[in-house]
Amino acid sequence: QKEVEQDPGPLSVPEGAIVSLNCTYSNSAFQYFMWYRQYSRKGPELLMYTYSSGNKEDGRFTAQVDKSSKYISLFIRDSQPSDSATYLCAMTVSQGAQKLVFGQGTRLTINP
Amino acid sequence: EPEVTQTPSHQVTQMGQEVILRCVPISNHLYFYWYRQILGQKVEFLVSFYNNEISEKSEIFDDQFSVERPDGSNFTLKIRSTKLEDSAMYFCASMSVASKFFGPGTRLTVL
């Protein structure tokens, strides 16, 4: 079983739709969870950072963590064409110098 | 807004040649990293660097790779003898406490 699994998509939705992106993981030692957005041929850009189980909201973005199910989600409300990108989940065991383990990334297209 | 910068944006080299990829992390950050992403694949961890030494490295980071922080601002990745399979995007990242910020990447093409 892969450490972090993420459906690569592609996922295509109309503008204004609610988007749900998900990752599952197998390593119960993961404690910190991140979502990155990556535009084509660019570096990953940090969107959300969470630690505890539950929801964290930032504008149109909500990150959800369920440690008991080893499942994390990112919801995008009122999606815009500018949200079209690849979304990467990433996680790590602890803060500090610990490496991030990334999912495959989900390629998202928002159609005007 | 402070950002991580990387040079060059694209490097083409012949197999067996040495390359040095350069990064300028965010100035007050303490942790530095290199990741790579082969086209169509996951972003993979290579190495982390803290307090002027390697703190963790992956299986990919073999003896052909080395990192250095030659002065107070630059952070470099050297590949001594490049192979075709080293062709990838190489991302530098830096972190202060919790959030890791990535640079735009260097596309390395080995011919």
| Chain-chain contact of B56 with A34 (C-beta, under 8 angstroms) | no
Residue with tokens 């030692």, as numbered in its chain: A29
How far is Cα B59 from Cα B85, in angstroms, rounded to an integer? 14
DSSP string, chain B: ----EEE-SEEEE-TT--EEEEEE--TT--EEEEEEE-TTS-EEEEEEEETTEEEEE-TT--TTEEEE--SSS-EEEEESS--GGG-EEEEEEEESSS-EEE---EEEEE-
Question: How many Cα neighbours within 13 Å face the side chain of B15?
Answer: 4
Structure tokens at A11: 């996922």
Q: Is B34 on the interface with A (CB under 8 A)?
A: no
Q: What are phi and psi of A83, to 5 degrees?
A: -80, -5
pLDDT at residue A97, rounded to an integer:
59
pLDDT at residue A7, rounded to an integer:
87
A-B contacts (CB, under 8 Å): 57
pLDDT at residue A8, rounded to an integer:
85
Terminal Cα distance for chain A, rounded:
37
Confidence of residue A1 (pLDDT cuts 50, 70, 90): low
| Chain-chain contact of B56 with A101 (C-beta, under 8 angstroms) | no
- Which of B102, B107, B109 to substitute to test the interface with A, most A CBs within 10 Å? B102
| Chain-chain contact of A49 with B99 (C-beta, under 8 angstroms) | yes
| Chain-chain contact of A97 with B98 (C-beta, under 8 angstroms) | no
Mean pLDDT of A15-44: 93
A57-102 tens-digit pLDDT: 999 999 999 999 999 999 999 999 999 999 999 999 876 657 899 9
Q: Is B104 on the interface with A (CB under 8 A)?
A: yes
Q: How far does Cα B59 stand from its chain's mean position?
A: 15
Q: Could you read off the pLDDT tens digit of each residue along chain B, which spans 111 residues? A: 789 999 999 999 999 999 999 999 998 898 999 999 998 899 999 999 998 899 999 999 999 999 999 887 899 999 999 999 999 999 999 987 777 899 999 999 999
The DSSP call for residue A73 is E
A15 Cα to chain B: minimum distance (Å): 26
Average pLDDT score, chain A: 92
User: Are A41 and B107 contacting, i.e. CB atoms less than 8 angstroms apart?
Assistant: yes
Residues of A with CB under 8 A from a CB of B: 32, 34, 36, 41-46, 49, 88, 90, 95-105
Return the biggest CA–CA distance within chain B: 39
User: Are A90 and A36 contacting, i.e. CB atoms less than 8 angstroms apart?
Assistant: yes
